[in-house]
Amino acid sequence: MTKISIIVPVYNVEKFLPRCLDSLINQTLKDIEIICINDGSTDSSLDILKKYAQKDNRIFILEQENLGMSIARNNGMKIAQGEYIGFTDSDDWVDLDFYEKLYNAAKKSDADIAAGEIFTIHKIKKEYYLKFKKEELITDISQKFLVCNVPKYCYVWNKIYKTDKLKELNLEFEPNVYYEDRMFTVQALNLTNSLITVPNTGYNYFRPNPNSIIKTKSEKKNQDNKYTNEKMINYIKSNNINIDHFHTKIKKFRLFGLTIAKIKYFKDKKEYKIFNLIKFTTKA
């Protein structure tokens, strides 16, 4: 059995796709399959996929009309043969030892989920979004949410998931909805038995892409943002999951329409950010 199936939805990312694929085919873990779902791209993304598939037989290409990321991911999961499943967005990339470290940690501890660190990339600036101090096996539900900083960071892609467990729980992404990974992430963390944190390797979240699905604005995205957020919070409350670590309020200060400062209020501290350059915290 293949160790990890990596599912990559692809839609009009010709500029960024080679970097993503290079990070996957050059993983130190060789026993992987890379399932790329072309979601009706109208640029050269499909051609790029075909060229890479000719060079690396671990790449499988599925083609579908433009049905969205949720259906693309679900279709990828249906054919995944790996012991674990991971997700990578096609404008992002992963450290070259990312999947090997996550897989080894998950196997050693028999964890249902292994989570790596997150870096956010702003052009040439790279900073931690999520950092782990140590490798730690966690079974307490609220603690899993705490270490992954959920619901603030409801990202599906910095983790791998035991395939049999996902099938047992019948976990899928809700079709035709943006921000679809919110519910998938909270359900996965709540319904699985254990998570292991994996430090010193990370997922690189590329933020400057102006054409990314989330960054382009529309009324549907605004509606889905509200819908998925409310659904997620209601799920967390109904399952009595403690999320006191999550900030409850953000205060913004604007000048001539520009945000010059933000204050985030957490349970035990306040975080100040000025011009997105200066950042410091104080006790609440």
Residue 248 reports pLDDT greater than 60: no
pLDDT band with cut points at 50, 70 and 90 for residue 242:
confident
pLDDT band with cut points at 50, 70 and 90 for residue 247:
very low
Burial class of residue 44, CB neighbours in 10 A (0-12, 13-18, 19+) = middle
Same domain (yes/no): 182, 276: no
In this prediction, residue 129 carries a pLDDT of 87
CB atoms within 10 A of CB 254: 9
Residue range(s) defining the domain that contains residue 277: 249-283
Residue 243 domain-assigned (yes or no): no
Same domain (yes/no): 58, 168: yes
Beta bridge partners of 64: 39
pLDDT band with cut points at 50, 70 and 90 for residue 152:
confident
Same domain (yes/no): 176, 278: no
Residue 107 domain-assigned (yes or no): yes
Same domain (yes/no): 255, 127: no
User: What does the pLDDT average to over 88-111?
Assistant: 98
Lowest mean pLDDT among 85-94, 130-139, 240-249: 240-249
Q: How many domains does the chain have?
A: 2
Same domain (yes/no): 183, 259: no
Beta strands in 47-138 (DSSP E): 59-64, 84-87, 93-94, 113-122, 125-130, 136-138
Q: What is the dihedral angle through the alpha carbons of 186, 187, 189, 192, rounded to the nearest 10 degrees?
A: 180
In this prediction, residue 15 carries a pLDDT of 96
User: What does the pLDDT average to over 135-154?
Assistant: 94
Same domain (yes/no): 190, 254: no
Residue 244 domain-assigned (yes or no): no
Residue 149 domain-assigned (yes or no): yes
Same domain (yes/no): 273, 165: no
Beta carbons of 138 and 197 less than 8 angstroms apart: yes
CATH code, 174: 3.90.550.10
pLDDT band with cut points at 50, 70 and 90 for residue 277:
low
In whole angstroms, what is the distance from residue 213 CA to residue 196 CA?
A: 30
Q: What is the pTM of this model?
A: 0.84
- 3-class DSSP state of 139: coil
Same domain (yes/no): 258, 188: no
In whole angstroms, what is the distance from residue 129 CA to residue 266 CA?
A: 17
Same domain (yes/no): 125, 253: no
Same domain (yes/no): 275, 148: no
Query: If you average pLDDT over each of 120-124, 193-197, 242-246, which comes out highest?
Result: 193-197
Same domain (yes/no): 112, 192: yes
Same domain (yes/no): 166, 232: yes
Residue 211 reports pLDDT greater than 70: no
